[in-house]
Amino acid sequence: MIVGVMGAMPEEIDPLLKRLENVRKHEVADNTYYTALYGSLDLVVAYSKIGKVFSALTAATMIERFGVRKMLFSGVAGAIHPDLGIGDLVAATKLCQHDLDITAFGHPYGYVPEGKVYLEADPHLLGIADEVARTKGVKLRHGIVATGDQFVADPRRKEWIGRTFQADALEMEGAAVAVVCDAMDVPFFILRAISDAADMDAGFDFDTFLHTSSAKSADFIFSMLDVLDQAQ
Ligand code: ADE
């Protein structure tokens, strides 16, 4: 099975690449894709660059050019839910675009005609994540993840996103990957480890915790790859 593993930033995928052997590099559409065998799995790994457009391009390229049939995303997020602390893991059950706004035409936030406000992650992959969390003895929270082309460092914006979408965490790529995978019938799973609380300290906290939280997320994704490999 060909499995895609994406991040947005080098820091999010470096911990994964470090654990792979005989990695090959491919340059496509101004980005670098890494392929490697992991047990019975054919992996395609890449960081997209930050934001919805770059992450949609990477997801579509992985599916169309590399034949990816399951998509996993590993990275960091800002917390909305007060119970979420730095390093906590959130598995997205549903994702939405908090910056998509044609409310001037009477539509709800996050909606455009023929689209969906919420995209649902694959229940089977969520089940594998629960199994991994149990085996590793780590806490995994299921939650709604809101995506937008903004680094949120403002308690009022964060509160609005939480209230409008019942979102637990926010980031800048998940829903874009979800839209592409949903349209192309590729099951997807988006994992985020908290790096900040999307508040006034978010910029500082993000820089401080990017590496450790990225590593936590990548380590969890690696364990999911082990389960997928053994299930083959
Ligand atoms: N990813 C991690 N923290 C974030 C924040 N505060 N805003 C947007 N994306 C993020």
- Tokens matching residue 55: 């992450």
Nearest partner of 142 among 157, 159, 117, 125, judged by Cα? 125
Using most ligand atoms within 8 A of CB, pick from 152, 157, 173 the residue to mutate for ligand 1. Answer: 152
Our answer to whether residue 196 is catalytic in this structure is: yes
Q: What is the reported pLDDT for 30?
A: 96
Residue nearest to ligand 1 atom 6, measured at CA: 198
Spot the catalytic one: 168, 171, 196, 205.
196
123 CB-near residues (< 8 Å, 6+ apart): none
Q: Is the pTM of this model over 0.85?
A: yes
C-alpha–C-alpha distance, residues 156 and 165, integer Å: 14
131 labelled catalytic = no
The predicted pLDDT at position 166 comes to 98
pLDDT in the model for residue 232: 86
Q: Counting every residue, how long is the chain?
A: 232
Q: What is the residue extent of each domain of the chain? A: 2-231
- 8: Cβ below 6 Å to ligand 1? no
The CB of 78 under 6 Å from ligand 1? The reply is yes
Helices (H), 99-173: 123-136, 155-165
Q: Are 129 and 189 in contact (CB under 8 A)?
A: yes
CB distance 151 to ligand 1 below 6 Å: yes
Residues 6 or more apart in contact with residue 91 via CB below 8 angstroms: 121, 126, 129, 140, 141, 142, 143, 189, 190, 191
The residue ranges of the chain whose pLDDT is under 70 are none
What is 2-231's CATH topology?
A: Rossmann fold (3.40.50)
Quick check: CB of 50 below 6 Å from ligand 1? no
